[in-house]
Structure 1
Amino acid sequence: MDHKDLEFFRKLLNQMLEEAQQKGDNTLEEMTDSNEVFADPADRATAESDRSFTLRIRDRERRLIRKIQSALQRIEDGSYGICEECGEDIGVPRLKARPVTRLCINCKAKQEEDENLRGE
């Protein structure tokens, strides 16, 4: 991968990181601002369900942040864009679709096929 491509992905990943961190900060602010008291148990149950859903989203964002940071580290150490399974280059179109990927399309397809066979 040439320097121009690496800079493109560095900028893209930094932008993704900033957006994910802002979403996380907004989620935490919303959750700390909601100290409502509910007279109706159904309203309380709905609020708890919403809170649980928000926490699951926050957890997904936190995992995405770690993946983005890992991808940025791979750019720094020179391993970005190289499949961790087979060692081949990951195509630029795949990286544009999924900038945090660690596997080429063939190895990812094989991984998913193996997971389906195991029932995961």
Structure 2
Amino acid sequence: MGSPTSDDIDILEKAKRMLEPDYVPSEDEEYMNERHRAYFRMLLIEWKRSIHSAAGQTLQSLQDGPIREADLNDRASSETDWGIELRTRDRQRKLIAKIDSALRRLDEGEYGYCEVTGDPIGLKRLIARPVATMTVEAQEAHERREKVSRDD
């Protein structure tokens, strides 16, 4: 599954703040009604936009020039920081593919339903992880199977 990083969570929280401030999908409403779908579509689009914006800032920093610290320790520290930043951006690039897939599922009416069981994933899970494709139970079973096959 790949757990979200703190950067991913921060960007997702910023995206949520850009949405209709008084509305959060509720269990009292019909599951995946038009308002739910509109909420998740806007959330996914805003999340993707935020990731692109952060990537643009990283790209701009890279284009500003090479690391020029004279001290070897400072230079090593800067290079380590850049390595971490680039790995984060690579993770986010992969996340964009998941966001695009979620948007496609929204268009096709499949969003919010488990790809394994067909059951509703649940609003709380989707709010926490809008690109989720499985219920918690199906995800746990999937991870157990992965762990067993890795241990063999």
State the alpha-carbon separation in 2 of the partners of residues 17 and 37 from structure 1: 33
Q: 1:12 aligns with which of 43, 51, 61?
A: 43
Matched, 1:69 2:69: no
| Deviation larger for 33-42 or 20-29 | 33-42
Q: Tell me, which stretches of 5 or more residues in structure 2 are unaligned?
A: 1-31
Q: Percent identity between the aligned chains?
A: 38
- Considering only aligned residues, what root-mean-square deviation do their CA atoms show, in Å? 1.7
Q: Tell me which amino acid in the other structure corresponds to 1:51.
A: W
Q: What is the CA-CA distance between 1:114 and the residue it aligns to?
A: 2.2
Match of 2:132 in 1: 101
Structure 2 distance, partners of 1:45, 1:27, is: 19
Cα distance, 1:119 vs structure 2: 4.2
Aligned position for 1:112: 143
Name which of structure 1's ranges 35-44 and 46-55 shifts more when overlaid on structure 2: 35-44
Contact 2:120-2:135 at 8 Å conserved across structures: yes
TM-score (norm 1): 0.89
Instruction: Name which structure has the greater RCO, CA cutoff 8 Å, separation 6+.
Output: 1
Aligned counterparts of 2:101 and 2:91: Cα–Cα separation in 1: 15
Q: Higher helix fraction: Structure 1 or Structure 2?
A: 1
